[in-house]
Amino acid sequence: MNKKLDKKTLDALVQAAVAVKKNSYSPYSRFKVGAAVLAPDGQIYAGTNIENASYGLTVCAERNAMFRGVCEGQKQFVALAVCTDPVEGEAFGTPCGACRQVMAEFMKLDAPILLVAVTKKGQIKVLKKKLKDLLPLPFLKPGE
Ligand code: THU
């Protein structure tokens, strides 16, 4: 059954992304990211960015969140929230290109992507986009 994307559900997704950010393993960039995805059955999977001394092995928070869900048997996600530390000059961090491509593998193009920023005063700000806003002209599975 598809979980309705009501305010309470999306708020829980945002809170999961905010909460997991504290576990970010990012000693090299010192840039903490938390992400959470919502599966059609209402389950939420959260992930952080995980860095490595060999920098290129770093995996972003969004992919870790999606891959956690896939490891639990999920094949589709109906929404994603990503929370970053405040980005200088801009309120919201945005997902990298690699994560957008992985989102296109497991999410519909009209699925909501919630960009989340926590202000210095602890206020949570959310900017709602759709995957198709972030990834126009996507490369999809052949035949789709
Ligand atoms: N990062 C993410 O976790 N998600 C993104 O979409 C962009 C970048 C992480 C990777 C690295 O640990 C740090 O942010 C700085 O690039």
Among 95, 89, 88, residue whose Cα is nearest residue 133: 95
Least confident window among 8-17, 55-64, 69-78, 113-122:
113-122
Q: Is 134 in the pocket of ligand 1 (CB under 6 A)?
A: no
Radius of gyration of the chain (CA): 14
Higher-confidence residue of 8 and 118: namely 8
Spatial contact of 47 and 65, defined as CB atoms under 8 Å apart? yes
Q: Please name the residue ranges forming H helices in the chain.
A: 7-20, 61-71, 97-106, 131-134
Among 44, 84, 40, 42, residue whose Cα is nearest residue 65: 44
Catalytic residue among 62, 88, 90, 144: 62
- Write down the pLDDT at residue 141: 82
What average pLDDT does range 25-41 have in this prediction? 97
Q: How far is the CA of 53 from the centre of ligand 1 (A)?
A: 15
Q: Is 96 in the pocket of ligand 1 (CB under 6 A)?
A: yes
Q: Give DSSP secondary structure letters for 86-99.
A: PBTTBS-----HHH
Q: How far is the CA of 33 from the centre of ligand 1 (A)?
A: 6
72-125 pLDDT, tens per residue? Answer: 999 999 999 999 987 777 789 999 999 999 999 999 999 999 999 988 788 899
Query: Angle at CA 98, nearest 5°, toward 140 and 54?
Result: 145
| Paired tokens of 87 | 């980005």
Q: Is 102 in the pocket of ligand 1 (CB under 6 A)?
A: no
Cα–Cα distance for residue pair 84/72, rounded to 1 Å: 25
Q: Is 72 a catalytic residue?
A: no
- Write down the pLDDT at residue 1: 44
The ligand 1 atom at the shortest distance from the C-alpha of residue 60 is 3
- Write down the pLDDT at residue 3: 55
Class of residue 30 by CB neighbours under 10 A (exposed 0-12, middle 13-18, buried 19+): exposed
What average pLDDT does range 16-31 have in this prediction? 97
Domains, the chain, ranges and CATH?
Answer: 7-134 (3.40.140.10)
Q: Is 43 in the pocket of ligand 1 (CB under 6 A)?
A: no
Spatial contact of 33 and 21, defined as CB atoms under 8 Å apart? yes
Q: Is 23 in the pocket of ligand 1 (CB under 6 A)?
A: no
- Write down the pLDDT at residue 2: 53
- Write down the pLDDT at residue 144: 74
Dihedral of the CA atoms 128, 133, 135, 137 (nearest 10)? 160
- Write down the pLDDT at residue 56: 97
